[in-house]
Amino acid sequence: MHFLWWIIVGLIAGWATGKIMRGSGYGPLVDILIGIAGAIVGGWIMRAIGFEGQGGTIYTILVAIGGAVFLTWLYRLIIGRSDAKGGSSDRSDRGGGDNNLRKVA
């Protein structure tokens, strides 16, 4: 039963992270994995700053979302992607001229 709970929390956290980070997500399976990893990272961060994990369902989902947002932000910072669809960052589009006009339209 716990395994199913982790999948549900991961799905919710991954979906919410995709909306918060202004992307379309990475697909259902990767969104679930990001959500589960976010729950682990978020739980670790919350324990490190002194919070106990006694908040229930809403607390668990919010911590998972916070951790998933942090992981997604860190991933995009390292990789340099500006969106979740695989587009390149603005740094690689310099001097593209027409390319930038198509993005705006």
pLDDT digits (tens, 9 = 90+) for 56-66: 888 888 888 99
CB 27 within 8 A of CB 82: no
Q: What pLDDT, on a 0 to 100 scale, did the predictor assign at position 51?
A: 82
pLDDT digits (tens, 9 = 90+) for 45-102: 888 888 876 778 888 888 889 998 998 888 888 887 555 455 444 444 445 555 554 5
CB 13 within 8 A of CB 40: no
Q: What pLDDT, on a 0 to 100 scale, did the predictor assign at position 89?
A: 47
**Is the pTM of the predicted complex or chain greater than 0.85?**
no
Q: What pLDDT, on a 0 to 100 scale, did the predictor assign at position 23?
A: 67
C-alpha 33/C-alpha 30 separation (Å) is 5
Q: What sign does the CA torsion over 12, 17, 19, 25 have? A: negative
